[in-house]
A and B are shown apart, each in its own frame.
Chain A
Amino acid sequence: MTHLATDLLVLHTLRCIGFAGTARIAATAGLSEADAESELIDLAVTGLVTHQAGEFGGWGLTASGRAADAERITGELEAAAARPALTAAFDGFLVLNPELLDLCTAWQLRSVDGVVVANDHSDQSYDDRVLDRFTDFHRRAVVVLDEISAALPRFGRYRFRLADALQRATCGASEYLTDDIASYHAVWAELHEDLLATLGIPR
């Protein structure tokens, strides 16, 4: 996420991905783990984030962290006078969103003899067909992703992360479609959350 102060970058990453460990925050924000951790500790000192131990532990925003992010990220949007362009690009995103969810579902489930069953991935030709559609979808998504990052350049990282997930899936790591924490579906959902958060649209 270029063009954001590092503290806001880390804060906003947490706003979009929810509770997470240092490694995932760093990977999402495109920072080294050491840099990310240093920022997280500073943010914790000012009461904007909090750390929990335990099996599902990690870093999360406090209520004041959420408020601070909303204020600063709105400031960024207005300073760049990007609201009209981002709103228009978000409309394009919303057209694509149900199709992406259809595709993820088609990867996980398939209709056999009129019955929807779990896709056991034993039919290579079906899986190839779904993967082809992901690739075709991505070609069209790139147009919208470019509109989004033209409005606010920090969104450019999503295009990179989505392309990376698709590339891995195409090379056989199919968990990067729907299952991995960095899967196409997961990154897409984070982008959705980021657009809502940036435009101030409640879920």
Chain B
Amino acid sequence: MRWIRRLSAETGETAEVVGGKAHGLVALHRLGLPVPAGFVVTAEACREYLRDGCLPDGLEDELRRAMSDLETATGRDFGGVRRPLAVSVRSGASVSMPGMMDTILNLGLTAESTAALAAETGDERFALSSRERFLAGFAAAIGDGRPIPDDAARQLALAVRTVFSSWDAPRAQTYRELHGIPHHLGTAVIVQAMVFGNRDDRSGTGVAFSRDPNTGANVPFGEVLFGRQGEEVVSGGSRTRPLRELADREPAVWAALLDALSRIEGHYRDACYVEFTFEAGVLWLLQARPGRFDGAAAVRLATDLVDERVIGRGEALLRVSPQHLRHVRTPRIVAGEADVLARGLGACPGVATGRVATTSDSAVRMAADGPVVLVRPETSPHDLRGLAAAAGIVTARGGPASHAAVVARAMGKPAVVGVADLVVDAGSVSAGGRTIGAGTLVTIDGTGGEVVLGDPGTVTPAADAHLRRLLGWADDVSGDHNGRTESERLGAAHAVLRGASGRRE
């Protein structure tokens, strides 16, 4: 086939051809890990589509053949009335553009197939909610109110065109301009048999790092959402639980996940990140990539990998960017003893301690008597004076580009956003099953995204033992033991190491 490659251990294509996501899936196949059967439509097909405005000659035929192979592999029937096959259709460019392009889940659930799925599982509610999710998600991705065909093959062709087109969405174009990504690359499209995280109460979905990305400690870290489907964890819209809860609720899934994380680490010789779904107690991996830690976590990871004899000192030095060290003098919460109430995304670095205020009015009132942390579901222009009065900001919703995040950075105030399980009431705040009243003292860390009770004190990563060790190696490499900033010491070592291996910066 010209435009399509089956995803398997034998797929011998580069990330340029099949995209980064598919490349990672091939690696998982080679490691013998559970990956839903599927295939990838190459980025070249996308380039043809974007140039000509229609799918390239032969692609629709190839899609039919690839689907027929997928039916054979899964023993299911796409658009069928017995054992129906549903698929996910996801973008996967050769460069990472998180959240910029479309994903369509549960495709192939026509009216008839949905009835068949209900009959097969004996769970009509599950089948109907899966179809609803498909229709709503697909309609949002298409965007122009066109009707969704009730024919599985036509749905698939439309979904491939929709994902191709999303490469050229204005927001995606802007993202590429800002990040220096060429516009001509296009995206591959990955089609895989659906695994249903919403199947029953022994199903769910999650994301996991093999090590804690906040500290670098060698402890798996992540979030899990029971009884739900993939996109809801990544988008942070639903109530996620700490990854560790898997161990109690689904020990077999947990054990399989630990085994997978360890094998993927071995493959990348680095910490790793995976997205996974489990259906009826069986684990499936949907994506894997290296962990991409930063700051103190990157330093801890690099030195630990040296101790574990995974990499040498030179490589450890090169894995930490001098940029990572520019903020090592930014205070962080003392991690050990802190009573963590909730975790979100750090949106503006720094630590703030103050009493919880749940409205801008009360923040202004309370700020007269000492520092305040403003905790809101999200912020709007109405919160500007509360933001101005507060020492730090926490929001339940929104990501690093939310109103609260942009304003907090403009004001230089520590901020934590996207605390998924945070509920803000008039006089109290709840998270992780605990409720605290307005006026309670909390401390927030705008680097790691922690919200902790009381005042645990702060520490600067510059004093961290792992960093001192790494910088000691750096000075040995550069031969320069004079006092300089952390970033300069590492940069000098990089210059020597890059020079020695003939590489250029």
Residues of chain A touching chain B, judged by Cβ–Cβ distance below 8 Å, are 16-20, 52, 54-56, 58, 95-96, 98-99, 101-106, 108-109, 111-118, 129-130, 132-133, 136-137, 140, 178-179, 181, 183, 185-186, 189-190, 192-193, 203
3 shortest interchain CB distances as A-B pairs: A18-B382, A113-B321, A101-B401
Contact of B170 with A by CB under 8 A? yes
Q: A17-B381, A19-B385, A115-B323 are in contact. Are A109 and B400 (CB under 8 A)?
A: yes
Bound Cα distance A185, B381 (Å)? 10
From B30-38, B235-243, B404-412, the one touching the partner chain is: B404-412
Besides A99-B170, A105-B406, A118-B327, 13 more A-B contacts (Cβ < 8 Å) are A16-B381, A18-B360, A19-B385, A54-B368, A55-B368, A56-B364, A58-B385, A98-B171, A102-B178, A109-B400, A183-B410, A189-B381, A203-B380
Query: If A115-B294, A115-B321 touch, does A108 touch B179 (CB 8 Å cutoff)?
Result: no
Whether A106 pairs with B178 at a CB distance below 8 angstroms is yes
| Tally of contacts, chain A with chain B, CB under 8 A | 113
Minimum C-beta distance from B97 to chain A (A): 11
**Chain B neighbourhood of A102, CB < 8 A:** 171, 174-175, 178, 401
Q: Is the CB of B378 within 8 A of A203?
A: yes
Q: How distant is A187 from chain B, measured CB to nearest CB, in Å?
A: 9
Contact present for B360 and A185 (CB under 8 Å): no
Q: Does B403 contact A (CB under 8 A)?
A: yes
**Chain A residues with Cβ under 8 A from B295's Cβ?**
115
A99-B174, A104-B406, A106-B178 given; A19·B382 CB < 8 A:
yes
Partner of A193, one of B368, B381, B402, B405: B381
The answer to whether residues A117 and B401 also contact, given A56-B385, A108-B410, A130-B178 and a CB cut-off of 8 A, is no
Separation of A112 and B180 alpha carbons in the complex (Å):
12
Q: Is the CB of A109 within 8 A of B178?
A: no
- B360 surroundings in chain A (CB, below 8 A): 18-19
| Chain A neighbourhood of B321, CB < 8 A | 112-115
Q: Which residues of A contact B384 (CB under 8 A)?
A: 17-20, 181, 186
Distance of A150 Cα from B410 Cα, bound (Å):
33
Is the beta-carbon distance between A129 and B382 smaller than 8 angstroms?
Answer: no
- Which residues of B are found within 8 Å of A95, using beta-carbon distances? 143, 170
Number of interface residues of B (CB under 8 A): 39
Evaluate whether A115 and B177 lie within 8 angstroms (CB atoms) in the complex, with A54-B364, A108-B410 already known.
no
Interchain Cβ contacts under 8 Å between A and B, 17 examples: A19-B382, A19-B385, A20-B384, A20-B385, A55-B389, A56-B389, A58-B385, A95-B143, A99-B174, A101-B402, A106-B178, A109-B409, A117-B323, A117-B327, A129-B177, A186-B381, A193-B382
Bound Cα distance from A115 to B401, whole angstroms: 16
Partner of A117, one of B177, B179, B326, B367: B326
> Is there a chain A Cβ closer than 8 Å to B388's Cβ?
yes
The CA of A32 and the CA of B96, in the complex, are separated in Å by 50
Chain A residues with Cβ below 8 Å from B382 are: 17-19, 193
B405 contacts A105, C-beta separation under 8 Å: yes
Please name the residue on chain B nearest to A58 by beta carbon: B385
CA gap between A189 and B405 in the complex, in Å: 13
CA distance A115 to B364 in the complex (A): 35
Contact A101 B406 (CB under 8 A): yes
Residues of B contacting A178 in the complex (Cβ-Cβ under 8 angstroms): 406, 409-410
What separation, in Å, do the CA atoms of A130 and B175 have in the docked complex?
A: 10
The secondary-structure label for the interface of chain B is helix
Taking CB atoms, residues of chain A closer than 8 Å to B294 are 114-116
Contact between chains at A56 and B378 (CB < 8 Å): no
Q: Which residue of A lies closest to B379 (CB)?
A: A189
- Give every chain B residue within 8 A of A96 (Cβ-Cβ): 170
Complex CA gap A134/B349 in Å reads: 25
Tell me if A56 and B171 are in contact (CB < 8 A).
no
A18's nearest neighbour on chain B, judged by CB, is: B382
CB of B292 within 8 Å of the partner chain: yes
Q: Among residues 361 to 397 in chain B, which have CB atoms less than 8 Å away from a CB atom of chain A?
A: 364, 367-368, 378, 380-385, 388-389
Question: A149 to B380, alpha carbons, bound, how many Å?
Answer: 22
Closest chain B residue to A101, Cβ basis? B401
Contact A18:B381 (CB < 8 A) given known A98-B171, A117-B327: yes
Asked if B76 lies at the interface with its beta carbon under 8 angstroms from chain A, I say no
Name which of B175, B364, B382, B403 has the most chain A CB atoms within 10 A of its CB.
Answer: B382
Residues of B within 8 A of A18 (CB): 360, 380-385
Among residues of A, the one whose C-beta sits closest to the C-beta of B327 is A117
Say whether B313 faces chain A, with CB atoms less than 8 Å apart: no
Smallest Cβ distance from B491 to chain A, in angstroms? 11
Q: Contact between B401 and A111 (Cβ–Cβ < 8 Å)?
A: no
How distant is the Cα of A189 from the Cα of B410 in the complex, in angstroms? 14
Check B133 for interface membership: any CB of A closer than 8 A. no
> Is residue B83 within 8 Å, beta carbon to beta carbon, of the partner chain?
no
CA–CA, A54 to B368, complex, Å?
Answer: 9
User: Which of B171, B174, B381, B388 is in CB contact (< 8 Å) with A190?
Assistant: B381
Residue B324 lies at the interface, judged by CB distance under 8 Å to chain A: yes
Cβ A108 vs Cβ B406 within 8 A? yes
> Quick one: which of A106, A118, A140 contacts B170, CB cutoff 8 A?
A140
- Could you tell me which residues of chain B, from 156 to 192, have a CB within 8 Å of some CB in chain A? 170-171, 174-175, 177-179
Q: How far is the CB of A92 from chain B (nearest CB, A)?
A: 11
User: From residue A14, how far is it (CB to closest CB) to chain B in Å?
Assistant: 10
Residue of B nearest to A61 (CB): B382
Check A98–B323 contact: CB distance below 8 A: no
Q: Given the complex, which residues of B lie within 8 Å of A140, measured CB to CB?
A: 170
Task: Please name the residue on chain B nearest to A126 by beta carbon.
Answer: B178
With a 10 A CB-CB cut-off, give which of A17, A95, A105, A115 has the most chain B CB atoms.
A115
Contact residues in A for B409 (Cβ distance below 8 Å) = 108-109, 118, 178
